[in-house]
Structure 1
Amino acid sequence: MVFTIQNTDVKQKDADRAVVVAITSRAVFESGAGDGDDVYGVGVAFQLLKALQRVNERLLEENPAESLLFDVVLITTDSQQQQQSSNIISSTRHYGLEISRFCFSSEEDFIESLQNNNVQLFLTTDKNEASQASQKGVLSALLDQQVALCPSDQLRVVFCGDAAIQPDTDTMLASRRAAQSFWAQLGEMQRRFSLNDSPLCFVLLTSHGGRESCVGSMLTLHSSGVSVDEAYCLAGAPRGPILSLLQPHFMLEE
């Protein structure tokens, strides 16, 4: 069972142009740890949401008629939070979060909610949910506690260039097509801003191979319209230390 509630506090985005991002409510809110009985505490994805909103604000500052905007959908599969749906909506209003729709579904049917809303990027703290969505061709990224420490004034995205060495199964090809479509939209957003004053920062990271591998991944992104702000070739070194310095909001496989 899947049902959706539209957030009447938020102006709805252009369905033909908006970039739809779905985030699980468990990543955004911590049940029972807020400022009041009907307000949840903030979760690991709170700063990420604020960064997405900042991009939208800057796009509208550049062009008040802009329609290429992030459209955020909150996905709830947790039965306890579903029983307290009014708390989720109250918490969204309390923190001033620009969430367009609230989708409630069972754990078995959450893929349907992603497909019904034409989601282009799914963000979750649950590895199994991310895997299921990817297998259905929905671009997904796994969030961890590090995201909570990220600054909200600039959306920082890391592209991992090592996926190109993986075998091309049908699932991989479907995921790659979804990724390339999303990259193209990010690139179009990026071109709205000058290099020195952008609310978007794109970083390329390759863990394996040498300079040629890094350059090849950079060209792949460039062909999709994405210009990389920073690039790092680790050549087998662990990526944990550099990621802690970069503080990305999420990482996408290239």
Structure 2
Amino acid sequence: MENQNPLQNGALEGAAGNGGRSGDGSALIFLGTGCSSAVPNAMCLIQPSDPPCQVCSQSLSIPPDRNPNYSIATKFPYLVQKKLREGQEVRRVAQLDWKIIEEHYDKPFVASGLKFFPLPVMHGEDYLCLGYLFGEKCKVAYISDVSRFPSNTEYVISKNGAGQLDLLILDCLYKKGSFNVHLCLPQTLEAIKRICPKRALLIGMTHEFDHHKDNEFLMEWSEREGIHVQLARDGLRVPIDL
């Protein structure tokens, strides 16, 4: 069983301390929305096609100060390599507070003052993975690695089940076809229609997704189906009252 952490693949974190809650409200900040092969894709850099991949080429042209990795270098300089000043020593100050879920993955846990409910999903037919349901005022489900929803999990996050989600953050690997361990766009949209959240953001996309063009398609789909769906992006900040 894989115990995915909300700060890993398709990563997001609560803005501000105490689980993202502060006097000015709370927000979700997306730190990584691509798939594990990354964007730009390594093969597009090592063996570029002719013409070159438009998405990977565009990602390389982003100015450093608009690249989310820059928000990280500024706020957490000790996490990236840098030239030390004369006499300065390397400081290793980062620490991890482990929240280990094993046999009791069906029980909620608290992290930074926010309660999380694990959501078992299938990541291929031989692998159990976890998404997470959280939020008291607004309900958010984060599911980054899924190929199929067990009926109990789908009931918990469905409008026709335990209640409508305010936001569903969902896996979407390829634009066409299917894949054995991930949802692809056709299955992702079908799942969204069944679950019927108020809003959905897609994560885990490969470099074949063109953010602007595919969000235009999703906007048309959203107007037709009555569910707002868009591709998430690195650095996206979503204000939401948790």
Give TM-score scaled by structure 2 length: 0.29
Larger radius of gyration, structure 1 or 2?
Answer: 2
Q: From the two aligned structures, give the one with the greater helix fraction.
A: 1
